[in-house]
A = this chain, B = another copy of it.
Amino acid sequence: MTVSNRIFTRENINPNVLATKFSVRGPIVVRADEIDRNNKNNGVGPDVLFCNHGNPQELGQKPITFFRNVLSLCTSPELISCEGLRGLFKEDVFERAKQILSYVPGGQTGSYTHTQGIYTIRQKVADFIVSRDKLPYKVAPENIFLCDGASPAIQHCLKLLVKNDRSGIMTPVPQYPLYSGTIQSLGGHLVGYNLDEDQGWSLSASELERSYAEAESKGIDIRALVVINPGNPTGRVLPKESLIEVIEFCAKRGVILLADEVYQQNVYGTRPFISFTGVVEELKLTESFEMISFHSCSKGFLGECGRRGGYMHLSPAISREAIDELYKMCSIALCSNVDGQVMVDLMVDPPKVGDASYEQYVEERDAIVSALKRKAKKLVLSFGELKGVTCQESEGAMYAYPKITVPQKAVLVANERGVAADAFYCMELLETTGVCVVPGSGFGQKDGTFHFRTTFLLPEDRIDSVTSRIKNFHQDFLEKYSD
């Protein structure tokens, strides 16, 4: 029998896949895992402080008790009638679990559901949007898709929108690499528009137009514009004027808006989160404005990343035929996981005043959000004290994105090693101190500037450790590579 040489090699892999980059789980993170494993196995070295990933519960954030308790009863329904639990779980937990099971197919969270998710849960998401944005119209459950987190939902949309190799998607610089990675893997064009760091990572209509015109001059057909609000990695919460500018730009240019609003419950500054859906209605554009917005259980004070729950909302102007095509593509993998769907149910309909769990819920929620607020402030302040480092305020999300000045000597060493200067900085930081952050080159940045993204999710005492380790490292790094 002839046995061929290896066939599944780089030469034989889809070139769009090869061209794809995804830094959030790239080489620095792989190395951090390795160091962590080694240190734990051998009981040596400083502990790795993982600041690379928006993964709150891994770092000690407690889940909301009510949500988890309901979910466990849905998993083992015989617990609902278990007397022994009556003291431990609050009364409304039992009621809620019964209610949810009444609309899960077959009363079992082990069933496949409708491709778009359980109808009643979609109805509740629709009601949540109406109430959040004070809309004068009803949102149709037919326009809601429950998904395994926001990421696959966004990937489905991009799959439809990248029509051919001339298709372009406008994304912010910096952006979350889900966008760049997916667009690359589909063979489309990533068309960046710059956020203005000196103005707190603000967004401007003139920059949108510049970016659009430049792409147009290259023959690129702009299909959609991505806005991440609150911003990842920037931490920016957009003011209403920016939302209006974006909407006007999209309407004028015939571009679909993808509104990534997964951090809508992570707001720490004075400026509140405002949804695009609400502003579109204020502008009386609901009938014509085509937009898809995304939300998730992974962020906010829930932090239920592992649950993979989320939804996308197609604005009323999105055509039935586009929804049908999305339905078909989502159907191929059947449906999103039911526990994730249940978590979305709980997220959009948490305990209310008067419910047995209400007080505990509010207490837990507020404790998480206020700790995040304190930690964001502390981290950003500490960066301001480092030589050659500036950091915009983190008004929202889970990240700070400081700008660092990398000495010319270090840039040269990085070049020699064939890595970006900020990747070099971050790898040195990891190797020296165990602090794991992600270089700005993975998110995009103005040419010649360097950044890194760090979360502020570690417990408060560990944040102190992060700031002191970075401080010492930074001084040594500057000295080592000074001219």
Interface residues of A (CB under 8 A from B): 1-10, 12-15, 17-18, 20-22, 24-25, 33, 53, 55, 57-60, 63, 68-69, 71-73, 75-76, 78-79, 82-88, 104-106, 108-115, 148-149, 151-152, 155, 159-164, 177-178, 181-182, 185, 223, 248, 251-256, 285, 288-290, 298, 302-308, 317-319, 321-322, 325, 327-329, 331-340
B148 to A3, Cβ gap below 8 A? no
B110 to A303, Cβ gap below 8 A? yes
**A-B contacts, 25 listed (Cβ < 8 Å):** A1-B252, A3-B285, A7-B254, A9-B322, A12-B223, A13-B322, A14-B162, A15-B163, A21-B328, A22-B331, A33-B114, A58-B105, A58-B106, A59-B106, A72-B72, A72-B76, A75-B75, A83-B84, A84-B84, A110-B304, A148-B148, A159-B185, A177-B332, A306-B339, A337-B339
Q: How far is the CB of A34 from chain B (nearest CB, A)?
A: 12
B339 to A14, Cβ gap below 8 A? no
B159 to A14, Cβ gap below 8 A? yes
Pick the contact of A88 from B4, B78, B321 — CB < 8 Å?
A: B78
Check A79/B83 contact, CB under 8 A, given A58-B111, A151-B334: no
Pick the contact of A110 from B9, B57, B106 — CB < 8 Å?
A: B57
Q: How far is the CB of A49 from chain B (nearest CB, A)?
A: 14
Check A333/B84 contact, CB under 8 A, given A14-B161, A106-B59: no
Q: Which residues of B contact A104 (CB under 8 A)?
A: 306
Q: Which residues of B contact A18 (CB under 8 A)?
A: 325
Check A336/B319 contact, CB under 8 A, given A3-B285, A251-B1: no
Question: Given the complex of chains A and B, what is the CA–CA distance between A414 and B155 in angstroms?
Answer: 37
Q: Which residue of chain B is the closest to A334 with respect to CB atoms?
A: B151
Q: Which residues of B contact A13 (CB under 8 A)?
A: 160-161, 163, 321-322, 325
Q: How far is the CB of A315 from chain B (nearest CB, A)?
A: 10
Given contacts A20-B328, A110-B307, 16 further A-B contacts (CB under 8 A): A1-B252, A6-B317, A7-B256, A13-B321, A14-B161, A18-B325, A20-B329, A25-B328, A55-B106, A60-B106, A72-B79, A84-B84, A110-B305, A112-B305, A155-B332, A307-B339
A337 to B325, Cβ gap below 8 A? no
A14 to B163, Cβ gap below 8 A? yes
A307 to B337, Cβ gap below 8 A? yes
Check A113/B306 contact, CB under 8 A, given A9-B322, A83-B84, A251-B3: yes
Q: Which residues of B contact A5 (CB under 8 A)?
A: 254
Q: Which residues of B contact A185 (CB under 8 A)?
A: 159, 329, 332
Q: Which residue of chain B is the closest to A178 with respect to CB atoms?
A: B332
Q: How far is the CB of A36 from chain B (nearest CB, A)?
A: 11
9 cross-chain pairs, A with B, having the tightest CB-CB distances, nearest first: A84-B84, A306-B338, A4-B254, A72-B76, A308-B337, A58-B106, A57-B108, A58-B111, A72-B75
Q: Which residues of B contact A17 (CB under 8 A)?
A: 159-160, 325, 328-329
Question: Given the complex of chains A and B, what is the CA–CA distance between A332 and B16 in angstroms?
Answer: 14
B8 to A319, Cβ gap below 8 A? yes
B334 to A337, Cβ gap below 8 A? no
Q: Which residue of chain B is the closest to A86 with respect to CB atoms?
A: B84
Q: Which residues of B contact A255 (CB under 8 A)?
A: 7
Q: Which residues of B contact A331 (CB under 8 A)?
A: 22, 24-25
Q: How far is the CB of A100 from chain B (nearest CB, A)?
A: 13
B83 to A181, Cβ gap below 8 A? no
Check A63/B7 contact, CB under 8 A, given A1-B248, A161-B14: no
Question: Given the complex of chains A and B, what is the CA–CA distance between A182 and B84 in angstroms?
Answer: 49
Check A2/B251 contact, CB under 8 A, given A7-B290, A163-B14: yes
Q: Which residues of B contact A76 (CB under 8 A)?
A: 68-69, 71-72
A151 to B55, Cβ gap below 8 A? no
Check A108/B63 contact, CB under 8 A, given A82-B84, A155-B332, A155-B333: yes
Question: Given the complex of chains A and B, what is the CA–CA distance between A58 and B107 in angstroms?
Answer: 7
Q: Which residues of B contact A25 (CB under 8 A)?
A: 115, 327-328, 331, 334
Q: Which residues of B contact A3 (CB under 8 A)?
A: 251, 285, 288-289
Question: Given the complex of chains A and B, what is the CA–CA distance between A22 and B115 in angstroms?
Answer: 12
Q: Which residue of chain B is the closest to A23 with respect to CB atoms?
A: B331
